[in-house]
């Protein structure tokens, strides 16, 4: 089974979080400009306090149980942050470079095989195009290209340095946010976005952008974090996945369903195939022994055998209770 350290080495990840804390003071010290928002999943304005973290406030939606940042920085503030922040640069250079091959083997190759299975089932061939949103170093573009299933493989990547890396690998790149993609600019039969939708100011606008780059009935594969997951429910404010200003949309499973459907998609498959919930809890509590777990969570993390932990993780996957969610949807 995959371990957290395979894709997220503790020293590198903690350095990233440290830089994030410093960036908050640089970019978000003036909260008078922040704006209140409804639930980004279901648009409900009924909420209760979720938590406060690093000076930011999270709310819990009373209708779909999603956790979201409100008030939140403006779109302009986020634009400046993602262009200039040291933590963003560190993730795109040092962190991702150090983990890229592990992620290729453990994450991107299996995802490419899933795309291949769906594309074959739908009869996609060399006349069809594929688009990856948030292409980074182009690793997933490479894996999709290796399938020889699609005639054209392109990326959407707003970061200039990463867009250039993808171009050097031979891929066409739209160097912009997917929200800025216009009708007809990209016409893909299949699209993907991994660990992106938890970041944007308005995830519905993000999905609308994806919808515009897809052909009618085109397929969209995306992954994100869900607050319904076991490790985030157990750790709550201690979770490193609940970390502003990067992760601001931590939607529940039902919230994600609502968001996808109101954005013009029909869900073909939804699952939580995460492998790391129990391992994440073990690692965080080992690193910070002062964190108190409830008796059941502590027992599952430290009091049972590796075999039982693996079986419990399989149970979380099967019951949509892992914090890593995967959705395949069709553009209506």
* Topology (CATH level 3) of domain 4-271+325-331: Rossmann fold (3.40.50)
- pLDDT in the model for residue 305: 97
- pLDDT in the model for residue 91: 83
Every domain of the chain and the residues it spans: 4-271+325-331
- pLDDT in the model for residue 63: 98
Residue 112 contacts residue 144 (beta carbons within 8 Å): yes
Which residue is listed with tokens 């430290």?
Answer: 302
Which residue is listed with tokens 């994440």?
Answer: 280
Number of Cβ within a 10 Å radius of residue 52: 11
Q: Is the peptide bond before 165 cis (omega within 30 degrees of 0)?
A: no
pTM of the model: 0.94
User: Judging by DSSP bridges, how do beta strands 172-174 and 152-156 pair with one another?
Assistant: parallel
Q: What is the dihedral angle through the alpha carbons of 251, 256, 259, 260, rounded to the nearest 10 degrees? A: 150
DSSP letter, residue 182? P
Establish how many alpha carbons lie within 13 A of residue 55's alpha carbon, considering only the half-sphere containing its beta carbon: 15
- pLDDT in the model for residue 88: 87
Low-confidence ranges of the chain (pLDDT < 50): none
- pLDDT in the model for residue 5: 85
User: Tell me: the pLDDT tens digits for 282-325?
Assistant: 999 999 999 999 999 999 999 999 999 999 999 999 999 999 99
Q: What is the dihedral angle through the alpha carbons of 34, 61, 91, 21, rounded to the nearest 10 degrees? A: 50
Longest dimension (CA), the chain: 57
């Amino acid at each position: 089974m995959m371990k957290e350290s395979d894709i997220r080495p503790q020293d590198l990840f903690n350095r990233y979080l440290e830089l994030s804390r410093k960036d908050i003071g640089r970019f978000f010290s003036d909260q008078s400009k922040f704006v209140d928002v409804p639930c980004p999943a279901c648009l409900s304005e009924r909420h209760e306090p979720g938590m406060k973290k690093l000076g930011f406030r999270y709310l819990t939606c009373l209708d779909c149980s999603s956790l979201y940042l409100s008030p939140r920085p403006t779109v302009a503030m986020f634009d400046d942050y993602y262009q200039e922040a040291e933590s963003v640069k560190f993730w795109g250079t040092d962190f991702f470079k150090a983990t890229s091959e592990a992620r290729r083997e453990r994450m991107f190759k299996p995802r490419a095989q899933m795309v291949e299975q769906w594309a074959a089932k739908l009869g996609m061939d060399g006349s069809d195009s594929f688009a990856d949103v948030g292409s980074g170093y182009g690793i997933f573009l490479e894996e999709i290209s290796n399938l020889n299933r699609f005639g054209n493989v392109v990326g959407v990547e707003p970061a200039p340095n990463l867009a250039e890396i993808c171009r050097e690998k031979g891929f066409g790149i739209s160097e912009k946010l997917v929200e800025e993609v216009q009708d007809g600019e990209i016409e893909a039969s299949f699209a993907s976005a991994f660990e992106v939708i938890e970041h944007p100011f308005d995830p519905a606008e993000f999905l609308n952008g994806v919808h515009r780059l897809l052909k009618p009935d085109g397929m969209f594969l995306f992954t994100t974090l869900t607050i319904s997951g076991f490790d985030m429910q157990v750790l709550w404010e201690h979770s490193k996945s609940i970390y502003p200003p990067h992760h601001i949309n931590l939607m529940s499973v039902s919230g994600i369903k609502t968001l996808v459907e109101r954005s013009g998609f029909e869900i073909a498959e939804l699952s939580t195939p995460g492998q790391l919930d129990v391992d994440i809890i073990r690692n965080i509590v080992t690193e910070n022994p002062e964190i108190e777990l409830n008796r059941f969570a502590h027992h599952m993390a430290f009091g049972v055998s590796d075999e039982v932990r693996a079986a419990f993780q399989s149970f979380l996957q099967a019951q949509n209770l892992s914090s890593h969610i995967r959705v395949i949807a069709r553009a209506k």
